[in-house]
Structure formats: C-alpha cells, structure tokens
Structure 1
Amino acid sequence: MAPPHFLLVALSTCSAMNPALQLAERLARVGSRVTFLSTVYALRCMIDPVCPGGVTFTTFSDGYDDGYVPGDDLERYRAEMNRRGSEALRDLIEHSSGQGLSFTCVLHTIVPWVHDVARSLQIKLVLVWIQPATVFDIYYHYFSGYEDVIKSVTSQRCDTTSLIRLPGVPPLTNRNIPSFLHVENKYAFALPEIQSLLENLKEEENPKVVLVNTFDALELEALRAIGTLNLVGIGPLVPLSFLDSDQSSRGDRFLGSEDFVKWLNAKEEASVIYVAFGSIAMLSKLQKREMARGLLETGRPFLWVMGKGDGDDDELIYKEEIDKRGVIVPWCSQIEVLSHPSIGCFLTHCGWNSTIESLVCGIPMVAFPQWADQMTNAKLVEDVWKVG
C-alpha cells in the first residue's frame, strides 16, 4: 500500500513557512510523502531547501520573486498571489494525478485561494491554523452570533475595562482583541477572508478537522470550545532537536546571521535581553529611539534583531553606547537564541511563532504587540499563562 501523499501549501512569510516546514518534516518522519508548495522568494530565503525524509519542494512565481516590499501596492500583490497561486496549485494537482501520484490531502496555512481549487478538483482539504486556538475561537464566535457583543466594546476605542466573554476564551478587553476585528483595522481584506475560511469549514464533510499549532496542556479549553469542529493540537511546531535528541534540524531554515553566537557564549547565564519584532511589523524612528534608550537604562547586554525593513541601525542616536552594550543583527535563528543559556528575557511583538518558541525554551517575555493576533497572544502570556 502506497504511503499517504500530502500537498502542503504555505505563504512566503516566516510566520507561515517555519511551522509548515516543521509539520512537513513530522509527516515525512512517519513515512508520508510531502510535496511543499510555496513561492520562489520563500525558497530563496531558505538555508537548506531539502528536508530530511524526502519532502519535495515546488515553487511558483507570485510576481515578487525578490519579496514584497512594504509600500508596494498591496492589492496588486494580493491579486497576483491569488491568481498565480491558484493556477500553480491546479496545475500541480492535475499533473500529479496524470502521473499516477495523486495527493491524499491538501494542507494549507490559512491560504485563502486554496479552498476553491481543492473543491473544484474534489480533493480533501485541511486547514493548518498557525495562530493560537484562542484566536481561532474568537473569530469563530464573531461570525457565529457574537459580532455585536464584540463590536460594542471594540467601537469604544478608549474603553479598556469592559469585558467580552466568549465560550472557551478568557475574558477580554478592547486591547486584547485581534486587530482585524477593530473598527480602525486598515487591512480591510483580512476579515472577509477569515469569514470565508470559516464558512468553507462549515461546508466540509464530517469530521471537520482543524490542525492547530498548539498543544493540550496549553489550550485544552480553547481546543474543545467549538463542538462542531475538531480542533487538534499538533504543536509545538518547533525544530525536533529542541524536543528530543535529534540534531538533524537545528534552528529555522531561513537565512540569518551567526555572528551572535560567540557574543552570547561570552555572556553570563540569563543576563541577555533578546529583542525581536518579527518580519512584518516595523518600528518608527521614535519607537526605535525610545527602545534603545530603555535597553541602555537596564544596564544589561542585549541582542537586537533589526531587519532590513527597519531601516539603518545608524539612525539610532545612541549608536556608540549601543555598540558597547549590545549587538544588532539583521536576522538570526530565533529558537537557537532563545535556547541559549545566556538569554534571560525576550522583548517580543508576540507573534505566535515567537510566543510558542519562548514558551518551549522557558524564557519570560515582555510583550509589545503590534497587530493581528499579537494583542490576544500578549493577553495569554501575561494574564493566563503568567509567563510575561
């Protein structure tokens, strides 16, 4: 009997690619075949495009092979991604079927255009939710009778005391709700896409399964909160080397800097503040200046990840003092940093990958959420899990 053959589709952001790659590796380790579909840019950013266990990569051009640059026409970018991605997915499924290599199932990490293609070709589709189960529940409840309850609070921007109570979710204030549910949300496309995603789930044949990058000990109530859906925790989707003795997949697979390792090795245990805000959110010059001043005032050494989209670190007015106290790198293997004994604290935007990696490594967090699910993640970190 032939092993299952999964087609895994992920967008090119690190927040989608890293957990998707870990899932692909896990499937391959238990004997499944995995074909991984993403963009040309995503593959270019990877250190090693060959996963152990025979995961096969295939790419398509979304028209932005050098990556999307903030400030580019977002609507055009999304339209090109949807059009080209749909065509590539359809061609891949039809070609594989013609070669006698049909896919058992298509998995996707919140990729809107996958559903229509899979449905038209009558192939099983499963969503891989790469945010916490709590956030999934919030969106589900919003579109299942609680919209007015949530809007009554989010419409009052300055109200930080009124509570929103949803099944399986801790009490939330205006500040704890995902930014896409706020009136002033500037990403107007996001909410309709989430609604469509949830409606598509309701149309699926039973059992309606959603794979979630979380685990029972962390979010059991949230995983069980929706009776009509089977939310299955498959996390934490971090490199297996950090969960067992396997050293074959150390760190993430994206290009980074290793200059930080020797510097960290020279520091005392739990003495370094690690600072990183992900690959999408960018700090303003004023925010960077105040962040730098605050870090210097702690008197602690710090490692600060400042990507190319964040501007030049020479803009910092405390550059000389920073060079004496800390190190600024354009990127690094985050989980390797978090697992280093010198790290004592993580100043983070609370993206879900960052949050769950910090939890796995036992590093306390200081939350500085920016958008999307990060506000809810910060709430969980501070008030529910009490690890930051």
Structure 2
Amino acid sequence: MSIPCVLVLPFPAQGHIIPLMNFSKKLVEHGCKVIFVNTDFNHKLVMNSMGEQQLDDSFNGALKLVSISDGLRHDEDRTNFAKLCVTMLSTMPNMLEKLIKEICLNDNCRISCMVADVIMGWALDVGSKFGINGTLFWSSSAAMFALLYNIPKLMDDGIIDSNGLSATKKTFQLSPNMPMMDTEALVWSNVAEDSINLNKIFNYLKHCSQTTNLAKWWLCNTTYELEPQSLSFLPKLLPIGPLLNIYDENKSATISIGQFWEEDLSCMSWLDQQQHNSVVYVAFGSFTLFDQNQFKELALGLDLINRPFLWVVHDQDSKNSTTFPNEFKGYKGKIVKWAPQQKVLSHPSIACFISHCGWNSTLEGLSNGVPFLCWPYHADQFYDKTYICDELKVGLAFNKDEKGLVLSGEIKKKVDQLLSDENIRLRSMELKGKVTMNIAQEGQSSKNFNKFVEWLKE
C-alpha cells in the first residue's frame, strides 16, 4: 500500500495556519506525507520563528513546507483583507497549478488528496484538473461554517442584501435550535473599513462557499459537545477537534511549527514561581491592534488588578507599536512578545484568560478549563464571545464607555467578578473534561479523524 501524500493549503493568517499545521502533524503521525503550502510571505515568517529547529529531525521528511506567491509585493499590507482576497484569487490558482506540476515531476509524488481551508475553496477547482480528491477544512466554529454555507439562503430570505449587509432585522437563527446571530457582527462585516472593501471580502467568501460541493469531506476543528445544534444542522461536517499542539514531555523543546514569531519560553519558568490560580493571562492573537488610548487603559487596568499577569504584546518592535504609559508600573507582571499559549493555558498558575476570542484561543482555553474575559476584535470573535458568555457560560464580557474604550476600572471590576464566581470555574472544568475526551483514543473526534485517514489510505 503506497503512503498517501496530502497537499494542505491554509488561508494566510496565523489563526488558520496553526490548526491546519496541528492537523498535518497528526496526519504524519498516522503514516501520511504532507506538503504544507504557505504564501511566500508567511513561509518566511514561519521558517524564521523556528530558529535552529530542524523539520527533518522530527518528521523524517514526511512534512514538507513549501510556498507560492499571494500576488502582493513584500512591503504591501496583508491586514488589508479585501486587497489580499482579490490578489489571491487572481494569482494563486495559477501558482498552485504550477506547484502541483512541479511536485508530480520533481518529487515523483502522486498527491492523493488536497485539504484546503474553506476560505481557500477555489483551490479545489485547481485540484480537480489533476483528478485530486478535495477535502475542506474549517478552522473556526461549526456555526460559522453554517453561516458561510447559507449565504445564498440568507440573501433569498432577505436577512442580508447582495453586499452582505443587514437587510431587515438585527438578529436571526439559521435553525430553530441554533444560537441567535447578530446581523451587525457577521464574520465579514467587521473586517473592512468601508463598504467597497466589505463587498470585495463578501464576494470572495461567497465564491469560496460555492466550492463546498467539490469536497468529499468537510472537516471542522470542533466537537459534538461544544456545538451539537450546529453539527446536527450540517450532518456532513465532521468534528475532529480540538486540534492541539502535541507536546512531548520527554523532549526539552518540542518543535513548534506554524508560528509567526518565536515563542518566549522564559514565561514558563516565571509561571512556575506563581501561586496556583493566581495569574491573569492576556493575549489578543496576531491581528488585534489597539490605539494608544486603549493600550494605556489596558496597561493601567493590569496594574489596578494587583495580581500577577502574563501579557503578550507582539507588536512591540513595529513602527506602529503603542508605548507603555509613564504611569504603568507592571511590577507584578511579565510581558513577552509571543508565548507558547497552549503550554501557558495548561499551567496550574493561570486563573483566567483575557482573550480576543479567536476560535483557536477559545478551544485552547476550554481544553484547559480556563475561564474567559472576552474582548473581541473582528471577524467571528464577536460570535465566539456571545457563545462563551451566553451559551457555555464560562466567561464574562467587557463593557465599553461612550468613546468605545474598555477602561482600567472596568478591567479590574470584571477580573474580580470572574475570579470570585465559583460556578464559572466549575463549569469551565466540566467542559474541559467533555472537550478533551474527544481526542482520547476512543473519543468521537479521534474516531472521525481515523475514518478520514483510513479513506486516504484506501
């Protein structure tokens, strides 16, 4: 039986690359070869962040990292999603086609399957030209997949117009059993600065959602326990989560692939010196950028809570970086540029997680029984916040003042409120058991993943 070779294509953003990398590492563990395709820009970031670590030593050549151009110049802004989506769609299909031809020719390797991020769904068209089986992977919640999948229906029902904007009411349900969704906070409506760019992003997502019929499998980084209603609404969507980085306790440093910045491991020995359930962990993912006023309030709020805190500030060196206010003491805290988040969240000293509520962070927090303080920034994070606070009831949200700022006093108030609520802590620990049960050998997510691997090997 030949070894299956899988080509994996993530959307070029940190929150999409990490779960697909964890998925790829699992495929390698199960005897597959993986060719992981980043954009040139992100490939460089990933390789630089790995430092001295060598891929071949850890994966015996079964995981290969390659790249193609996203169509933008090196110095262009990749946080402009509208521009990125337009250039990707006009340049990447041809680049991907060329790459596949090169792999077949030079590596003498037959690609058995292409696993594409749902919002890189156009790639399945490219794969079908070569007779490559297509699989779609969704790195966010099942509810968000259901939302994208139902764009045509939402337009037909008059819930959104042809630009993706709210046409009628403020809230709606995709099905009677699913949580309410807010038309003002749809995944595409808060990632663009103006209506022209919003329209470009919406059209791109709509285009990708139309390729779902080309995929034999739909895989999702979630579990039945977390989203029973969304998964029964889309029975073809197979939960294989939570896809976590597997750390080998016997190795001093587990290889960490897919990060854009090198992890600062000094925070782990600092956490070892803190009391159990005492540290407030603060991290907002790779895209969140605060203006100076909000950054100041956050810094002063961390002083005000008078507890140890670990704060990830990844843009410390950039030209647009914010500066710490003169009044900020920070004597009880540690500030790092990037942290090994999963290791941090599993540390016994962590009391709670101030988070932007990206789905990866949400799953990592839930998998470690850590309560949340929710501060969403864009895309699906607003839905995730509502889900954490209102459905799962394992977190609280911050309120903003009339200028749209979360003030230092509000930060202290919510930290105190969360950490004095024993019920939230208990629910978080109960959920941890249910979520992590899925990735045990006989867990449902493991069974689903094994079913997919068996199909690959056939």
Q: Secondary structure at the match of 1:218?
A: coil
* Contact 1:138–1:169 (Cα < 8 Å) also in 2: no
Out of 145, 149, 156, the residue aligned to residue 140 of structure 1 is: 149
Q: Name 1:169's counterpart in structure 2.
A: 178
175-184 or 3-12, which deviates more: 175-184
Q: Name 2:212's counterpart in structure 1.
A: 201
* Contact 1:344–1:363 (Cα < 8 Å) also in 2: yes
Deviations 1:311-360 (A, max 9, x none): 445342433x12x1222221111111111111111111111111111111
Amino acid at match of 1:294: G
140-149 or 256-265, which deviates more: 140-149
Tell me how far apart the structure 1 counterparts of residues 150 and 234 of structure 2 sit (CA, whole Å): 9
Tell me how far apart the structure 2 counterparts of residues 7 and 353 of structure 1 sit (CA, whole Å): 22
Tell me how far apart the structure 2 counterparts of residues 87 and 121 of structure 1 sit (CA, whole Å): 13
How many angstroms does 1:134 deviate by? 0.8
Amino acid at match of 1:28: V
Tell me how far apart the structure 2 counterparts of residues 126 and 93 of structure 1 sit (CA, whole Å): 16
Tell me how far apart the structure 1 counterparts of residues 250 and 178 of structure 2 sit (CA, whole Å): 35
How many angstroms does 1:132 deviate by? 0.4
186-195 or 275-284, which deviates more: 186-195
Q: Name 1:39's counterpart in structure 2.
A: 39
Tell me how far apart the structure 1 counterparts of residues 297 and 322 of structure 2 sit (CA, whole Å): 13
How many angstroms does 1:139 deviate by? 2.4
308-317 or 338-347, which deviates more: 308-317
Amino acid at match of 2:99: L
* Contact 1:24–1:34 (Cα < 8 Å) also in 2: yes
Q: Name 2:223's counterpart in structure 1.
A: 215
Count the aligned residue pairs. 376
Tell me how far apart the structure 2 counterparts of residues 353 and 116 of structure 1 sit (CA, whole Å): 28
How many angstroms does 1:146 deviate by? 5.9
Q: Secondary structure at the match of 2:289?
A: coil
Amino acid at match of 1:16: H
The CA RMSD over aligned residues, in Å, is 3.2
Q: Name 1:6's counterpart in structure 2.
A: 6
Q: Name 2:242's counterpart in structure 1.
A: 236
Q: Name 1:122's counterpart in structure 2.
A: 131
Tell me how far apart the structure 2 counterparts of residues 340 and 366 of structure 1 sit (CA, whole Å): 18
* Contact 2:86–2:200 (Cα < 8 Å) also in 1: no
Describe how 1:230-269 pairs up with structure 2 within 5 A.
230-241=236-247, 249=254, 253-254=258-259, 255-269=262-276
* Contact 1:39–1:65 (Cα < 8 Å) also in 2: no
Indicate how the Cα distance of structure 1 residues 351 and 310 shifts in structure 2: closer, same or farther if over 3 A, else same. farther
**Alignment pair present for 1:103 and 2:114:** no
Q: TM-score, normalised by structure 1?
A: 0.85
172-181 or 217-226, which deviates more: 172-181
Out of 210, 229, 232, the residue aligned to residue 224 of structure 1 is: 232
Q: Name 2:392's counterpart in structure 1.
A: 385
Q: Name 2:360's counterpart in structure 1.
A: 353
Describe how 1:336-347 pairs up with structure 2 within 5 A.
336-347=343-354
* Contact 1:272–1:342 (Cα < 8 Å) also in 2: yes
Indicate how the Cα distance of structure 1 residues 375 and 33 shifts in structure 2: closer, same or farther if over 3 A, else same. same
Indicate how the Cα distance of structure 1 residues 74 and 201 shifts in structure 2: closer, same or farther if over 3 A, else same. closer
Tell me how far apart the structure 1 counterparts of residues 145 and 242 of structure 2 sit (CA, whole Å): 16
* Contact 2:312–2:336 (Cα < 8 Å) also in 1: yes
162-171 or 263-272, which deviates more: 162-171
How many angstroms does 1:247 deviate by? 8.4
Amino acid at match of 2:15: S
Amino acid at match of 1:235: G
- Point out where structure 2 has 5 or more consecutive residues left out of the alignment: 396-458
Q: Name 2:63's counterpart in structure 1.
A: 55
* Contact 1:289–1:317 (Cα < 8 Å) also in 2: no
Tell me how far apart the structure 1 counterparts of residues 200 and 82 of structure 2 sit (CA, whole Å): 9
How many angstroms does 1:375 deviate by? 0.8
How many angstroms does 1:94 deviate by? 1.6
Out of 291, 310, 317, the residue aligned to residue 284 of structure 1 is: 291
Tell me how far apart the structure 2 counterparts of residues 177 and 345 of structure 1 sit (CA, whole Å): 27
Q: Secondary structure at the match of 2:233?
A: coil
347-356 or 96-105, which deviates more: 96-105
101-110 or 42-51, which deviates more: 42-51
